């Protein structure tokens, strides 16, 4: 057992719970339903998935825990994402406290289902691609993955995360936070454009793969 990896995973898991709790419940001034629902939908599958990765693919888990970008552009992307999430969660909490907007129950339920679907897609991407990393780099011996979801779009992980994060503010019951989270796909587009430049130059066969699979994250659109 890799005790260092286990400690790192547990530490980040607990830190994530505390961070989301502070950002959502503190501005709301209460443990409201939407916040509790999001925590359940977010952290229970995360715990299960993390446990599976720790047992079956610890190297992949380590790569997913590593978030230190080196490129200036990607550091900017990470910073922008952090600002969007922070602002979105705080606004959702304030929305709950001051009742700025009302999201119908059926939309909350639909968003919750979409969130779980996106989690499932995310897990499938990790099953298909052992080279996944939170940082943009080409690993030794890396090959182009072009089967499964990668045979439909080139960046299924980003597609899953966009669906996941656009569901979050609706689960929290805030239209105002939803408009903040709409900035996230723009950040992802910037990241994808940069990432594909790296892959074009450093990953053998990627240019041919781009010709076979034309769309990045949305079939027939982009």
Q: What is the pLDDT of residue 129?
A: 78
Tokens read off for 31 = 């443990």
Q: What is the pLDDT of residue 222?
A: 87
Q: Backbone phi, then psi, for 73, in 5-degree steps?
A: -60, -45
Q: What is the pLDDT of residue 71?
A: 61
Domain 3-212, architecture per CATH: Up-down Bundle (1.20)
Contacts of 174 (CB under 8 A, 6+ apart): 34, 91, 92, 95, 96, 100, 101, 103
- With contact defined as beta carbons under 8 Å apart, do 173 and 107 qualify? no
| Cα distance between residue 47 and residue 123, in whole Å | 12
What ranges in the chain are assigned the alpha helix state H?
3-28, 33-56, 58-65, 72-98, 105-128, 156-171, 175-181, 184-202, 206-212
Q: How many CB atoms lie within 10 A of CB 168?
A: 25
Q: What is the mean pLDDT of each run of 10 residues along the chain (222 residues)?
A: 78 90 94 95 88 78 64 74 94 96 96 94 82 62 82 92 95 97 93 89 87 90 87
Q: What is the pLDDT of residue 205?
A: 86
Q: What is the pLDDT of residue 53?
A: 78
Q: What is the pLDDT of residue 69?
A: 56
């Amino acid at each position: 057992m890799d005790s260092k990896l286990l400690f790192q995973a547990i530490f980040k898991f607990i830190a994530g719970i505390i961070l989301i709790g502070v950002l959502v419940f503190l501005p709301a001034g209460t443990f409201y339903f939407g916040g509790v629902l999001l925590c359940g939908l977010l952290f229970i599958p995360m715990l299960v998935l993390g446990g599976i990765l720790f047992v079956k693919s610890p190297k992949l888990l380590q790569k997913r825990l590593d978030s230190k970008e080196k490129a200036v552009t990607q550091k900017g992307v990470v910073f922008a994402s952090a600002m969007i999430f922070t602002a979105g969660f705080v606004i959702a909490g304030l929305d709950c406290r001051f009742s700025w907007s009302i999201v119908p129950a059926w939309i909350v339920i639909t968003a919750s289902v979409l969130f779980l679907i996106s989690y499932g897609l995310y897990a499938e991407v990790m099953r298909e691609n052992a080279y996944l990393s939170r940082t943009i780099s080409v690993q030794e011996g890396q090959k182009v993955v072009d089967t499964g979801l990668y045979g439909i779009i080139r960046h299924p992980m980003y597609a899953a995360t966009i669906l996941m994060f656009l569901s979050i503010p609706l689960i929290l019951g805030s239209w105002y936070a939803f408009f903040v989270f709409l900035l996230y796909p723009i950040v992802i587009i910037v990241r994808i454009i940069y990432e594909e430049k790296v892959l074009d130059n450093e990953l053998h066969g990627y240019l041919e793969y781009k010709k076979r699979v034309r769309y990045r994250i949305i079939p027939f659109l982009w």
